[in-house]
Structure 1
Amino acid sequence: MRTLAGTTRIELVIKRSRFVAHASRVEDLAGTLAFYESVADPDASHNCWAWKLGQQYRFNDDGEPSGTAGKPIYSAIDGKGLDQAMVVVTRYFGGVKLGAGGLVRAYAGSAARCIDQAAIEEIEPRLDCVIRVGFGWTGQVYAALDACGARKTGDRYSDDGIEITADIGVAAFETLKSLLRDTTRGEAVVRRAS
């Protein structure tokens, strides 16, 4: 997967309307809201946006005619093969109406140019996993998670042990299973989350 390495900003003037596009990597829903709030201008005519996080995506026309802003921005993100990415295009109306086709071209073009100017980085696909183990092995499980670059996302305790959920790179998942099988003498049960 590919994503944006940082935040990028470009500005275009199309028929006297000023379009300011900001693109950035976002990692979760809270990140999309924070990025939007950091770049949107409440005094602008429109702050249209789109984001993609894995299989989830959203876009918004912010008062422009339906389908003329948010969806073209999303198409630029998706067309570049990006994930964990958000683009906000702010329009300052310049007095000349662009028409539906003109708006689509302006928003899609602004988003695409912004993405083209951004640094792109590869990100490793990840998956959620569940580890069930007795209490005596908890330290070894946390050490194995750290060694494999996994992030603990939750835990649940029961009378006979703990169930730990984690986010791990797809390539490291088999390594984690093997490591835990060896260090817990086969007592840890490791599986993909359903």
Structure 2
Amino acid sequence: MEKKSAILACILVLNMCTSISLVQCEYYSQSLPYNQVKEQKTSLHFYMHDILGGSKPTAVPIARANSGQGGPAPFGTLFAIDDPLTEGPEITSTLIGNGRGMYVSASQDAIPTLVMYMDLGFTSGKFNGSSISVFSRNPITESPREMAIVGGRGLFRFAKGYITVHTHSFSGNGDAVLEYNAEIVHP
């Protein structure tokens, strides 16, 4: 009798495992055509502080080309950044987030150009916990210049758009305060 109940229990367990695996074998779900997703546009205005000097820089070189060039960002120099984002141009203005990522000095032309990858993360207000991702060239002497928004997270998931940048101030050691106007399209 015990043998029959053990066999019956094994058959029952095997049957349950088989039915569970059949339920989870579907690898896709029904989706909406993209043109049915409602999009909205958000405009943001803020300042980014890129500080190369002083006792607590927010942009530091992490690799340099062996070219012997001078200046704060010679061709081939790669920087890691953790720049504060503020409501106003003063560093003491309300902190709204940070720009984290990297940029490389990527031009041998007369116009210095950076190629930037950064995540602009917001830490206060309506967009707290959300960010926009930027991957673009940045010809730093042009004003205004434009950078591409290629994605985001949180409220900016699936974001696209652009940022216009104006250099608000620039010091001799490479410190800069940059005015950002972002036009973001997102669901």
TM-score for the superposition, normalised by structure 1: 0.23
Q: Which structure would you say has the larger Rg?
A: 2
Higher-helix-fraction structure: 1
- RCO (CA 8 Å, sep 6+): is it higher in 1 or 2? 1
Higher-strand-fraction structure: 2
